């Protein structure tokens, strides 16, 4: 089995067009995460009050929230995980453990225990409803309100801060920074296999 974090590319034209590996769907009341050593989805916790994610949620392969990502944040350190992504689509993405092609349109600054944990937003490529969205202003306000509410409430007993959403250009900078952080951290792995 290929490792979703390391063996799948970041996308066709990153940082604009990316791949999203889906860990959690809109129907999951459990929070799943990739086990970093094996690449298998594992149960991380229950969503607080059983509230599911408002959109499909996962990460961009071959990204890492490291020092370059922290430099774009309001805090000095990042969470050391892959960059998180919400994927907007008109039809629900019903399965986790799948790769979804997306186009970056924005993001939102988040800190978790004073570590940068930004979430970027992507639209499903060629989606009938979201495919023409190029900026956050093209979305109904309720879309971002649902995400902000979810991020503030989904994790019990945690120190979560959620800021104001930001646009496509900064989101693409965050993606690019996370790709550089990953390339630096895992250079040996990809030199030994088939390259970055």
Express each pLDDT in 96-130 by its tens digit: 899 999 999 999 999 988 999 999 999 999 999 99
37: pLDDT confidence band, cut at 50, 70 and 90? confident
Q: Alpha-carbon torsion 85, 91, 96, 99, what sign?
A: negative
- Burial of 99: CB neighbours in 10 Å, binned 0-12, 13-18, 19+: middle
For 85, what's the count of Cα atoms within 13 Å in the CB-facing half-sphere? 38
Of the candidates 135, 169, 163, the residue with the CA atom closest to the CA atom of residue 148: 163
Nearest 5°: the CA angle 67, 45, 74 is 25
* CATH 1.25.60.10 holds for 17-188: no
């Amino acid at each position: 089995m290929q490792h979703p974090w390391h063996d799948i590319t970041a996308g066709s034209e990153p940082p604009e067009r990316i791949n999203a590996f889906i860990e959690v769907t809109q129907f999951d009341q459990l929070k799943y995460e990739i086990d970093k050593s094996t690449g298998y989805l594992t149960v991380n916790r229950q969503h607080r009050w059983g509230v599911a994610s408002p959109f499909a949620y996962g990460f961009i392969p071959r990204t890492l929230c490291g020092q370059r990502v922290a430099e774009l944040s309001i805090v000095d350190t990042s969470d050391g995980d892959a960059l998180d992504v919400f994927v907007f689509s008109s039809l629900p993405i019903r399965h986790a453990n799948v790769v979804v092609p997306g186009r970056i349109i924005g993001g939102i600054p988040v800190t978790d225990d004073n570590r940068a944990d930004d979430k970027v937003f992507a639209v499903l490529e060629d989606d009938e409803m979201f495919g023409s969205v190029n900026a956050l202003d093209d979305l109904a306000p309720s879309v971002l309100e649902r995400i902000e509410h979810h991020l503030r409430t989904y994790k019990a007993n945690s120190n979560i801060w959620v800021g104001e959403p930001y646009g496509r250009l900064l989101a693409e900078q965050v993606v690019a920074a996370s790709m550089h952080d990953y390339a630096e951290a895992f250079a040996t792995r990809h030199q030994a296999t088939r390259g970055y």
